[in-house]
Amino acid sequence: MTRLVSFHSPDPPAQAIQAFFVRYPNPFARHVLSVDVLDRWIDLETGRLHTKRLILKRGILPKWAARWLPVSSSSGGRGLDAWVMEDSVVDPPGWGEWWSPPKDKAGQLVKGKEREDWDVYRWLPRLKLVQGNLNHRKFMHVLEGGELRGQSDGHTSHITTVEIRSDFGGSWSKLIRDRIEAQGAGRFLKNTERARQGMILILDAMRNRQPLPADTMEFYPPPAPSFGDHWPSPTDQNRKDSATSPSEESQGSYWNRWRRKEEHDHDHDDQDDDD
């Protein structure tokens, strides 16, 4: 099962790439417990920056799956800790100088807007990554890819793809495997939305030269959940709040609006229904 999602940010690629490497911790990524850089080096011939990171994430299993896996006792008996290996490559500006433009279906070089986008793309820095879980792969193997690439308008496109496979059980358990993969796909879509919100928050802080609040680390490690199937995020906590008026929207940045909401109602927590 595969999925693809994307969004755009009004920041140049260099700034978006920097935000990618410093986005943890943030209040929208409470499931990320630790990030360690195992290796980082620059290819002197190509100028590419290679980084290998080990990430510890905690997910919340639905009740029907918790009985089959070694869940964490500190998470209400529903949390599953997964070690994720991430490999990324940052291409420097001008990485595609000698690349030929792509061709259309007729075999001709693309023209117009598509050619313009290509010319911009190959001259701006880009980041490509792949990550996958190292444990629990028989139950669910999640292979995620991503790219941060420049656009002709100076903005950055964030693209994420995922392939989810389950080898749980034998040929008789295809229904269970299908359910596991569907659960993983649904969780991926929710997590990518939180990842988008986290990137927006970090980019906004960088843009306005604002540090992370002192209480950011209070989100780590995440508290034991009740019987919802996800860790509550600031968005969940404030989902019941009334819509923000236009005058309130104009009072500050995304970062400041989030901080005001957090201070207004820090304890509210919506929970998704169990699958």
- CATH number, domain of 185, equals 3.30.530.20
- For residue 169, being part of any structural domain is answered with yes
- For residue 144, being part of any structural domain is answered with yes
Q: If you count them, how many residues does the chain have? A: 275
- The pLDDT, as a whole number, for residue 157 is 93
Give the number of domains in the chain: 1
- The pLDDT, as a whole number, for residue 2 is 78
- The pLDDT, as a whole number, for residue 40 is 97
Contacting residues for 171 by C-beta, under 8 A, at least 6 apart:
none
- For residue 207, being part of any structural domain is answered with yes
- For residue 238, being part of any structural domain is answered with no
- For residue 258, being part of any structural domain is answered with no
DSSP label of 171: G
- The pLDDT, as a whole number, for residue 7 is 92
- The pLDDT, as a whole number, for residue 13 is 93
Residues (pLDDT < 70) of the chain are: 60-79, 170-172, 210-275
Q: How does 217-250 read in b/e, with b if 16+ C-beta sit within 10 Å? A: eebebbeebeebbbbbbbebbbeeeeeeeeeeee
**Distance set, CA 108 to CA 31, 91, 102, 104, 215 (Å):** 47, 27, 8, 6, 56
Question: In which residue are the tokens 């061709």 written?
Answer: 103
- The pLDDT, as a whole number, for residue 170 is 66
- For residue 260, being part of any structural domain is answered with no
Q: Which domain holds residue 84?
A: 2-227
Beta strands in 10-119 (DSSP E): 32-42, 49-60, 79-91
Q: Is the N-terminal amide bond of 221 cis, ω within 30° of 0? A: yes
Q: What are residue 103's DSSP bridge partners? A: 109
Tally of CB atoms within 10 A around 21: 16
Alpha helices in the chain (DSSP H): 13-21, 63-66, 112-121, 174-207, 234-237, 246-249, 254-264
- For residue 246, being part of any structural domain is answered with no
Q: How far apart are CA 113 and CA 48, in angstroms?
A: 28
Comparing CA positions, the residue from 45, 15, 254, 37 lying closest to residue 150 is 15
- For residue 269, being part of any structural domain is answered with no
Encoded amino acid at 122, one letter: R
Q: Is the N-terminal amide bond of 25 cis, ω within 30° of 0? A: yes
Q: What is the pTM of this model?
A: 0.70
Q: How far is CA 240 from the centre of its chain?
A: 24
